[in-house]
Amino acid sequence: MPHVETRTEFIITAGESPKRLDHFLANREPYYSRTALQRLIEEGHITVDGQMVKPSHKVKPGDKILLVVPRPEPLAIQPEPIPLHILHEDEVLLVLNKSAGLVVHPAPGHWTGTMVNALLHHMQSGEGHLSSIGGRERPGLVHRLDKETTGVLVVAKTDQAHQHLSAQFKEHTISRLYEALVWGAPKKGEGRIELAIGRDIKDRKTFSARTTRPKDSLTTYKIIERFGKVAAHVALTPGTGRTHQLRVHLKAIDCPILGDQTYGGKKVMKIGDIEIPRVMLHAKVLGFVHPLTKQVMKFSAPLPEDMETVCQDLTNQGATPS
């Protein structure tokens, strides 16, 4: 794409038959792929008569289309001396305990201060390289955790290790266990949540069952302790790896994760006098077959201090755990 912002205007002529907006632009602007055009439409950079629309919007004679291609932000990712909590490292991979608030990889709005910046700095000390499969912005990243989620994450140093680990994630042979603090409490002590989800048709930044491309997803849960009727500490095992899966599934059973305003609203940001500092989700355990030795490895990270504090505050407030 161009390195400066470009603005192009089209007015649909009387002889133009109605067709999808993305199809029309793909024919008029061969420089851009249809996928790139769809992304620009969804991000609001392409409008029809000044209004945001969907890629499937049918254009008609007289419509005025404005195509704005923003100047891309620089992609040169710089090493930064950001502390990393390394649980294990060898010649082909490393395992981290990610801290809360750390964005995993660079993206618009977060080109610096990410885990990738920290990893690049770590590799400068002679610890090897990161796999190249993820591209310049996601070197070594086999999977990811949301910014506010803490816990165990594996990073590949070689392309071979990356492919081996990716295959395990794809085949769901990775063992994963999460812990979360949730609003309210499931009625049953344990259960399964089976709900096909995908990108929400109205809010493209979130995921839900209200989607045009549902993907089967499964989560099993077990209550570790209840804090009266106001909250619970639960263990979660994802059977699939959909984006925001645990957050969406817990919302679906009316037990959104504490601190997750996106899926739980304002009610989950405060319990009584207790302020919830972030999304209370922690990747507790990660197990996989080592790409080189073929041995089963399992890593665990203790519940972070802020989640322990919220548990204690819930108890002190009078919501006695059971």
The catalytic site residues sit at: 146
CB 198 within 8 A of CB 245: no
| Alpha carbon separation from 240 to 132, 175, 254 (Å, rounded) | 25, 11, 20
Q: Are strands 58-59 and 64-69 parallel, antiparallel or unpaired?
A: unpaired
Give the side-chain half-sphere CA count within 13 A for 149: 21
200 in helix, strand or coil?
Answer: strand
Neighbours of 76 (CB within 10 A): 7
Strand partners, 145: none
| Alpha carbon separation from 64 to 19, 32, 47, 151, 214 (Å, rounded) | 14, 19, 8, 49, 33
245 in helix, strand or coil?
Answer: helix
Q: How far apart are CA 74 and CA 100, in angstroms?
A: 26
